[in-house]
Structure 1
Amino acid sequence: MHLKHLLLIASLVLIAACGSKKEKEEVVDENLSETELYQQAQNDLNNENFGSATTKLKALESRYPFGRYAEQAQLELIYAYYKSQETDASRSAAERFIRLHPQHPNVDYAYYLKGLASFDQDRGLLSRFLPLDMTKRDPGAARDSFNEFAQLTSRFPNSRYAPDAKARMVYLRNLLAAYEIHVAHYYLKREAYVAAANRGRYVVENLQETPAVGDGLAVMIEAYQRMTLDELATTSLETLKLNYPDHPSLQNGQFVPLEEEDDNRSWLGKATLGLIESKPPLPPGETRANQDIRRMYEEARQEIRADLKQGEETREAVESADRKPKRAWWNPLRLLD
């Protein structure tokens, strides 16, 4: 029942969102001068009427492509899209501005908003209403956001937006590392020990200074022990003891695996590390595919329930990192009025 209720809520939210997008677009008076159109767009932005501001800024850019406010309108349009939660449009507008004006004195603002759009895109629609665990979701947009903030901080280290970008990069780096550990434990549960060890090693080698490095070492130890690679397991264990003596997997100096090994395999499966395994015959009319689909469905239900219960800490972390940007403090074109 919980899964059905969740799907119903998601459907209602999506229907409401689609309905709001179908509102008739505002018609902009064709007799407005460039200055009047720009001032109206500014008033809409100040009043947080971002949909109307977007329409006027697009009209301003199309009617006066070489006017005194053209570049400023393109920059303000990125912000208006972002505040309207149109993240794809905001990123596209930012990419266009960067391509057309790479030497603009305020191009760092376009890089910053592009990173913010990807940052919010990773959260998705449902996460605005439900406390979902971000470490268990596809981190594609998080990686994009991290790379875009990295471009900003490397090209414009003295930008006024660099400190906030660096703070968000720390959060995103921790999020990506936690996701790798989540996937590694998934592999451990399914006895895919090589894949689990590779995920743990990736965190240790490439995501240093994140809280998940100790977890990555613990995953490596557990995977190596399951594969009876004693030398690698011992080396990883010594590293864990030296750098993370208080890690939860260490009890009285001894390593305690997190995942219980389901050792119900046949002697042939044990001898071949699971590469060759004899399985009991299936009931009449049953297939392995049907069993796998039912198992995956039940696991998905359990994960959704767990996500809904544990979301408070993750939501607080996101909210602390999610400091919404203000409009650009500069507007040199106003000096021309």
Structure 2
Amino acid sequence: MTFRATRATGTTTTGSRALRFAALLCLGLSLTACQSLFGKDDDEFAVIEEEPAEALYNEGLVLSNSGSFKAAAEKFSEVERIHPYSEWARKSLIMSAYTNYEAQRYTDAITSAKRYVTLYPGSDDAAYAQYLVAESYYNQIVDVGRDQARSEKAAVAYRELIEKYPESEYAVEARGKLEVARDQLAGKEMDVGRYYLSKRQYLASINRFKTVVSDYQTTRHVEEALHRLTESYYALGLISEAQTAAAILGHNYPDSPWYKDSYALLSKGGYEPQENEGSWLSEVFRKASGTL
């Protein structure tokens, strides 16, 4: 029993020494020679061959063209991970943004597109990358009854696209969607302002309607905002401000039904629209018209 145990231990030691010797020998051999020495099935020493960047990229294109956008995005990410300094990595980054966008994985699309713009701002695809950032936010815009953080981010991204790449093919569309995003933001202010007005919290409602007429004058909400300012100021007994809001509403939108409502409200108290040029409202609209 003892003899057999001793021989078994000795055999194991001899085998271990041989394995260590072979491992040391590998330090002076090529990886291919090592693989041949230990065999392809040896998990400890097997060499994993990397797939060429171009091949991975083309696999991603095939998947993308077939509509498998999620799988394609993962393939393009693999190019970046395995071959980060290759030209294919740059191409894969913009394709990763595109395929994630098509797969409606907007957070991943934004991350990839922003990285592309940061790393390659002068590239021919930089404008498109910025466009994907804006579109990804835009596609997540929700109704005005909910948080409008994505509307704000979409507006910022579209504005950046217009400012940085004004001659790009995406600039025209960006201008239109920027106004949609701004209209959404103004709509949110109106929604909150109406709530405060219904609760007779007039100062709070004025602040919301003031934001609309000051910051979102090109949106469709300005007419109503001026009327609501007329209501809020009138309720507080600030007649001059109410008259000014109504007068500006009538001057800029004479056929608006909101002006008719403002005029009727003032008439009940024996007043009529009359602009006070010292009012903040007058100053805002003079700036907008370029007369200040």
Given that 2:231 and 2:262 are in contact with CA atoms closer than 8 Å, whether structure 1 keeps it comes out as no
Given that 2:230 and 2:262 are in contact with CA atoms closer than 8 Å, whether structure 1 keeps it comes out as no
Equivalent residue letter for 2:144 = T
Q: Distance in 2 between matches of 1:30 and 1:47?
A: 27
- Secondary structure of 2:151 counterpart: helix
Q: What are the equivalent positions in structure 2 for 1:3-152 lying under 5 Å apart?
A: 32-123=51-142, 134-152=143-161
Q: Distance in 1 between matches of 2:82 and 2:218?
A: 51
Match of 1:230 among 228, 239, 242: 239
Structure 1 counterpart of 2:186: 177
Match of 2:167 among 158, 167, 191: 158
- Bigger drift between 70-79 and 103-112 goes to 103-112
Q: Distance in 2 between matches of 1:76 and 1:162?
A: 21
Given that 1:249 and 1:255 are in contact with CA atoms closer than 8 Å, whether structure 2 keeps it comes out as no
Q: Larger radius of gyration, structure 1 or 2?
A: 2
- Bigger drift between 234-243 and 140-149 goes to 234-243
Equivalent residue letter for 1:164 = E
How much has 1:122 moved relative to structure 2?
Answer: 2.2
Given that 2:186 and 2:212 are in contact with CA atoms closer than 8 Å, whether structure 1 keeps it comes out as yes
Which whole-Å deviations, capped at 9, do the CAs of 1:203-232 have from their partners, x for residues lacking one? 112111211111110111010011010110
TM-score (norm 2): 0.71
TM-score (norm 1): 0.62
Match of 1:195 among 201, 204, 215: 204
How much has 1:121 moved relative to structure 2?
Answer: 2.2
Which whole-Å deviations, capped at 9, do the CAs of 1:4-34 have from their partners, x for residues lacking one? xxxxxxxxxxxxxxxxxxxxxxxxx965322
Equivalent residue letter for 2:87 = R
Equivalent residue letter for 1:45 = S
Q: How well do the aligned residues superpose, as a CA RMSD in angstroms?
A: 1.9
Structure 2 counterpart of 1:325: none
Equivalent residue letter for 2:214 = E
Which whole-Å deviations, capped at 9, do the CAs of 1:175-220 have from their partners, x for residues lacking one? 2112211111011011110111111111112111211111110111
Q: Distance in 1 between matches of 2:190 and 2:93?
A: 41
Structure 2 counterpart of 1:186: 195
Match of 2:257 among 248, 258, 274: 248
Which whole-Å deviations, capped at 9, do the CAs of 1:225-279 have from their partners, x for residues lacking one? 110101101111111122222333344873349xxxxxxxxxxxxxxxxxxxxxx
Q: Distance in 2 between matches of 1:61 and 1:168?
A: 32
Q: Which has the higher contact order (CA 8 A, sep 6+)?
A: 1
Given that 2:226 and 2:246 are in contact with CA atoms closer than 8 Å, whether structure 1 keeps it comes out as yes
Which whole-Å deviations, capped at 9, do the CAs of 1:21-69 have from their partners, x for residues lacking one? xxxxxxxx96532222111100111111011101111111111112231
Q: Distance in 2 between matches of 1:136 and 1:197?
A: 19
Distance change in 2, residues 1:36/1:240 (3 Å): same
Q: Distance in 2 between matches of 1:236 and 1:219?
A: 9
- Secondary structure of 2:254 counterpart: coil
Q: Distance in 2 between matches of 1:253 and 1:73?
A: 58
Match of 2:230 among 198, 221, 234: 221
Q: What runs of 5+ residues in structure 2 fail to find an aligned partner? A: 1-47, 267-292
Q: Which structure shows the higher helix fraction?
A: 2
Task: List 4+ stretches of structure 1 deviating above 6 A.
Answer: none
Q: Distance in 1 between matches of 2:157 and 2:262?
A: 42
Query: What number of residue pairs does the alignment pair up?
Result: 219
Structure 2 counterpart of 1:306: none
Q: Distance in 1 between matches of 2:261 and 2:155?
A: 39
Equivalent residue letter for 2:159 = A
Which whole-Å deviations, capped at 9, do the CAs of 1:286-309 have from their partners, x for residues lacking one? xxxxxxxxxxxxxxxxxxxxxxxx
Equivalent residue letter for 2:254 = P
Given that 2:59 and 2:75 are in contact with CA atoms closer than 8 Å, whether structure 1 keeps it comes out as yes
